[in-house]
Amino acid sequence: MKICHPHLKKLGVGLLVLGAFAWSGVHAEIELTPHNLGTTGPGPNTFSGTAEICVFCHTPHGGDTTAAVPLWNRTLADPGTYQTYSTVTSSSIDGEVAPVGSVSIACLSCHDGTQAMDTLINTPGSGTDPAAFSASGTWTGNDRPQGLADIGQDLRNDHPIGIQYGGGGISVSAPAATTNDPDFNTPANQVINETTVWWVDSEETPDGVRQKTDMQLYTRSIAAIDGGVAQPFVECASCHDPHTSKPTFLRVLNDGSAVCLACHNK
């Protein structure tokens, strides 16, 4: 199975100038959301052991490399650990369902609730003693996600992930592709770093240019499903952006079901 993440080749350069980005718009947004688990976090769960924000997900050195996620600072579960929507009989599903993709597994490394949120690979400063880090502070609230954020490993009651977009079998054609299922809007595509990336324009940015406020699709090539032809797949981060301050981390506000209708032609 090949999972292609279009940002990975740019990541090394981005990390070199991380200090310059520290007070960028991204930092300002995360700081004010529950994804800020450090001492300055505004959410129900905060840890007194550090004021850092990024460390609960990312590390500049020694991250988990078992899946194509950006320098991930948490242990990732095997894709087969999760039960997905595909196990529910539904006549409306016409896209093939693959094991949960790496982008979704990164989200689930917190949100499946199987490990505490301070269970890191590297401590702040790229240390290697997570046990000492856990002992360095206490939690306000809980050290696991609360409420709807605690998804668990049974995903059958959640939106399908690891599923082909638009009925699958989408062929590349510039600037868009044709879906096999007319109930889905056609995605746009572009070659970035020699990889075809896919997205669906949202009403907020209907301009044919790939932006964070569009619905992101993730390129995967799985021989058993598509004979090794790269296809766009839906994952958690298709609808959610962990770096935004929008409610429930949606890529756009869902007024008028804007998130749903970006992809679903209803």
- For residue 229, pLDDT over 90 is answered with no
133 phi and psi angles, rounded to 5 deg: -65, -45
pLDDT digits (tens, 9 = 90+) for 96-123: 999 999 999 999 999 999 999 999 999 9
Which pLDDT belongs to residue 16? 34
d(CA 184, CA 156): 21
Alpha helices in the chain (DSSP H): 8-16, 18-21, 25-31, 102-111, 130-135, 223-226, 236-239, 258-263
* pTM of the predicted protein model: 0.86
Which pLDDT belongs to residue 186? 93
Average pLDDT, the chain: 86
Contact 200, 214 (CB under 8 A): yes
Which pLDDT belongs to residue 87? 67
Q: What torsion, rounded to 10 degrees, do the Cα atoms 255, 260, 265, 266 define?
A: -60
Could you list the residue range(s) of the whole structural domain that residue 235 is in? Answer: 2-263
Q: Span 160-172, mean pLDDT?
A: 90
- For residue 91, pLDDT over 90 is answered with no
CB neighbours (10 Å) of residue 157? 10
Number of domains in the chain: 1
**Which pLDDT band holds residue 23 (cuts at 50, 70, 90)?**
very low
Strands (E), the chain: 2-3, 46-47, 139-140, 163-164, 188-192, 195-200, 215-221, 231-234
* For residue 130, cis peptide bond before it (omega within 30 degrees of 0): no
Name residue 175's amino acid.
P
